[in-house]
Amino acid sequence: MPTGVALRNVRQQLFDAAELVLLRDGVNGLTSRAVTVEAGCAKGVLHRHFADFDAFLAELVQDRITRIRAQAAELTESAGTGTVVASLTGALTELFGSVAVAIIALVTSRDELRARLRESHPSGVPVLAEGVAMIAAYLTAERDLGRVAADADVDTLALMLIGTGHLLFADRKENPLERSAVEQVVVGVVADVVTPSH
């Protein structure tokens, strides 16, 4: 690409390109060069906006966390509508059907990236931790509405759903997961705490 060509919303363009590369080529294929080629810009563009590639990757993960937080707010606001199982199935499918599984692999494979993320996320894998917080907040809202048993351990249920969801969706490039498989897992985890008809 010629120098001097103005790019709109460069950061988001680079993030979108990185996600495409990550989904297509995996963690090993995600390089600064691959990102800039995918974004259609000169390699120097990335380095003008970020201190180095790990700084870029940390911002990429933070961008994904911001999206999960928006999803969490919508999910919690939906408490009391539809069924608990359908809402959880939809939330897990949206979370793990996206680039989140690849982001998790990225975080676990790069020591420098994990070190940078520890500054703002001192424990856990950030994307998974945000998913747990999302599900726990939703289940708490449903418990407050009486649609989930008052004695339900929402934190443990959230851990179980996110852990199982991650395992279900991991390495699913060739065989996309059917929604019914996710729903079956959700039912298995929450059947004893969801009140009848909810």
- Using pLDDT thresholds of 50, 70 and 90, give the confidence band for residue 8: low
C-alpha distances (whole Å) from 164 to each of 8, 31, 149, 161, 188 are 39, 30, 21, 5, 11
Q: Say which amino acid occupies 196.
A: P
CATH 1.10.10 range(s) for the chain read 7-49
In whole angstroms, give the CA distance from residue 114 to residue 100: 16
Average pLDDT over residues 14-43: 94
Q: Which of 150-159, 172-181, 188-197 has the lowest mean pLDDT?
A: 172-181
Q: Is the pTM of this model over 0.85?
A: yes
C-alpha distances (whole Å) from 3 to each of 7, 16, 37, 40, 41 are 11, 21, 14, 11, 9
Backbone angles phi, psi at 178, to 5 degrees: -75, 145
**pLDDT, tens only, 136-170:** 999 999 999 999 999 999 999 999 999 999 999 88
CATH 1.10.357 range(s) for the chain read 61-190
Average pLDDT over residues 192-198: 85
Q: Say which amino acid occupies 97.
A: G
Residue 148, SS3? strand
Long-range contacts (CB closer than 8 Å, 24 or more residues apart) made by 108-111: 109/27, 110/27, 110/54, 110/57
- Using pLDDT thresholds of 50, 70 and 90, give the confidence band for residue 97: confident
Structure tokens at 53: 């590639």
In whole angstroms, give the CA distance from residue 7 to residue 3: 11
- Using pLDDT thresholds of 50, 70 and 90, give the confidence band for residue 2: very low
**pLDDT, tens only, 36-82:** 999 999 888 998 999 999 999 999 999 999 999 999 999 999 999 99
- Count of residues in the chain: 198
Better pLDDT: 16 or 98: 16
- Using pLDDT thresholds of 50, 70 and 90, give the confidence band for residue 1: very low
Which CATH code is given to the segment(s) 7-49?
1.10.10
Domain 61-190 classified CATH 1.10.357?
A: yes
pLDDT above 90 for 134: yes
**Amino acid 3: pLDDT:** 45
Mean per-residue pLDDT over the chain, rounded: 91
